[in-house]
Structure 1
Amino acid sequence: MRVYIGCAGYTNDDWAENGLIYAGVRKDEYLTAYAAHFDAVELNSSFYGIPGLKAFEGMARKSGNRVRFAVKLHKVFTHDRAPTDDDFDRMLQSPEPLRDAGVMGPYLAQFPYSFHRTAENRRYLARLTERFAGHELAVELRHGGWDRPEVRDGMRELGVIWVSPDYPPVGGMPEPQVHVTGDVGYLRLHGRNKGNWWDGQSASERHDYRYTRDEMDEWAEKIALVQGDLSELYVFFANTTKGHALHNIPMLRAALNARGIPVQAPDPLDAPEPRLL
């Protein structure tokens, strides 16, 4: 099993503080610095506006073709749920430079908690997955009503990746388990900031949480249980606030290596200082 580990987004200005990986780095060089430390990233900008071909070409170039990109679907697909044929065309065609460079990961469909398991929503999800047939599509379903074996069985039949999540223990959301619906696994670690999950005014407040070493060991154990079922596993940390993810990723790497699952940081030869914490 090949494990790719990275963060939800790479344009984090708070990582420019002293001691973090963007200290002294120009903003237009963030991705180059990021690629020195991580081998995967979730692209958040595509949720707000689908980048063009040139933008994706620049991402491949600045990352030195060393980073796998999981491309988040634009909100018209997951929140508005009214995509046009043009939206599908742009979402499918624009990342072509990443495919040409061999660094395209799965698409990520991040549905909100308000997307309940209703007959209408089930039909919409079936239509969406049909339009992305032939491409790896990972689906995050935040409402606990979807957290059922029959849902994952259906995703398995459709070749869709179930996104295994780690959410705060607030109830009503999927349990923190690694579920396998195909050859590729996908894990998103949101942090466990129970107090701010519903009441936080921003994503940075909701994800203001640093995992303990014991919590990273727990996830390493869960990953070890499915390593024989997967050829690839993507692990993304959304707790990027205050550099929490920068502390937690080395913990998870060490915990996985200790369990016989080889995980390496990128070659540090070209890495700007300071190094990852």
Structure 2
Amino acid sequence: MARVRIGISGWRYARWRGDFYPPGLRQADELTYAAERLDSIEINGSFYSLQRPTSWERWRNSTPDGFVFAVKGPRYVTHLTRLRDPREALANFFASGLLTLGPKLGPIVWQTPADLAYEPELVDAFLDLLPRTTAAALELARDRHARMRGREVLEIDADRPLRHAFEPRHPSFDSAAFAAAAAARGVVIVLADSAGTWPAIDRASDGFAYARLHGDTELYASGYSDAALDRWAAWVRGELDAGRDAYVYFDNDARGRAPHDALALRARVDG
């Protein structure tokens, strides 16, 4: 049966303290608090730098059974090297410890910059490198750079499927050619709601659906109105009716709206 997971992108924001997080809550307990109210969180720290194995282990142990993390792929791959020669960087990423999340490891999202246009040969080669199982990710991780030695994790508890989502920000990706290339490799295209800043590509896939909500009327800042939340609830129900799992993450964190909007959307979907 298809299911939906609704969460937030990141969880450590000063603006949320005393609002979503009650006064006096320790920062160390914020993930546990959020995970008791939401069933998924998108880890975005992994976009900025490789995380330590101890961090992945702590995040796993701070969340309940059945919880799932989505993980944002590193900007070194998507923004700095712009998908070129990514094998070693991907190996470093998968060796960094995210595989220790085990059954709590959900989709991995790859977000490319707004000035990176669709180049079929480049993008298709990148998609071909993405491992489709945790066992394949482990094999790729063995090719990590020597500097990773001593702070890598090269083991898995079980072989599981891996899901990948791709969030392009250049309008050239809104094409039948890219949609076909992604679908052929089991990669879904993220539906990004960004107050009109980047293209909103809504193309159904055979596997699952992934939406990132960056702000209804103001990027990263505005909350979602009742009418907007109703529309997103209808989108979620449509995906579930089609037999697709749906992942929805609110990234409108600047004014603390993300967790409240996530809870409000969950109430609509469940209601």
Task: Work out the number of aligned pairs and report it.
Answer: 238
Change (3 A) 1:183 1:209: same
Change (3 A) 1:86 1:151: closer
1:237-252 to 2 correspondence within 5 Å?
A: 237-252=250-265
Normalised TM-score (structure 1): 0.79
Q: Identify the residue that residue 92 of structure 2 maps to in structure 1.
A: 90
Kept in 1: contact 2:3–2:240 (CA 8 A): no
Moved more, 105-114 or 150-159: 150-159
**Deviation of 1:189 (Å):** 0.6
Change (3 A) 1:174 1:103: same
**Deviation of 1:23 (Å):** 2.8
Q: Identify the residue that residue 190 of structure 1 maps to in structure 2.
A: 214
**Deviation of 1:151 (Å):** 1.9
Unpaired segments of 5 or more residues in structure 1?
195-205, 259-277
Q: Identify the residue that residue 3 of structure 1 maps to in structure 2.
A: 4
Candidates 95, 120, 139, aligned match of 2:166: 139
1:226-241 to 2 correspondence within 5 Å?
A: 226-241=239-254
1:172-211 to 2 correspondence within 5 Å?
A: 173-175=198-200, 177=202, 179-194=203-218, 206-211=219-224
Kept in 2: contact 1:106–1:138 (CA 8 A): yes
Q: Identify the residue that residue 274 of structure 1 maps to in structure 2.
A: none
Q: Deviations over 1:149-206 (max 9, x none)?
A: 3321221111101111112135xx32364x3223221111111345xxxxxxxxxxx3
Aligned partner letter, 1:110: Q
**Deviation of 1:3 (Å):** 0.5
Query: Share of identical aligned residues, percent?
Result: 25
Q: Deviations over 1:210-265 (max 9, x none)?
A: 1100011111222222323344211000012222122212321232234xxxxxxx
Q: Identify the residue that residue 179 of structure 2 maps to in structure 1.
A: 152
Q: Identify the residue that residue 28 of structure 2 maps to in structure 1.
A: 28
Kept in 2: contact 1:5–1:40 (CA 8 A): yes
Task: Give me the whole-angstrom Cα distance separating, in 2, the residues matched to 1:157 and 1:83.
Answer: 21
Please state whether the residue corresponding to 1:243 is helix, strand or coil: coil
Please state whether the residue corresponding to 1:224 is helix, strand or coil: helix
Please state whether the residue corresponding to 2:255 is helix, strand or coil: helix
Task: Give me the whole-angstrom Cα distance separating, in 2, the residues matched to 1:215 and 1:146.
Answer: 25
Unpaired segments of 5 or more residues in structure 2?
133-161
Normalised TM-score (structure 2): 0.81
**Deviation of 1:124 (Å):** 2.3
Kept in 1: contact 2:4–2:240 (CA 8 A): no
Task: Give me the whole-angstrom Cα distance separating, in 1, the residues matched to 2:244 and 2:66.
Answer: 19
- Cα RMSD (Å): 1.9
Change (3 A) 1:131 1:42: same
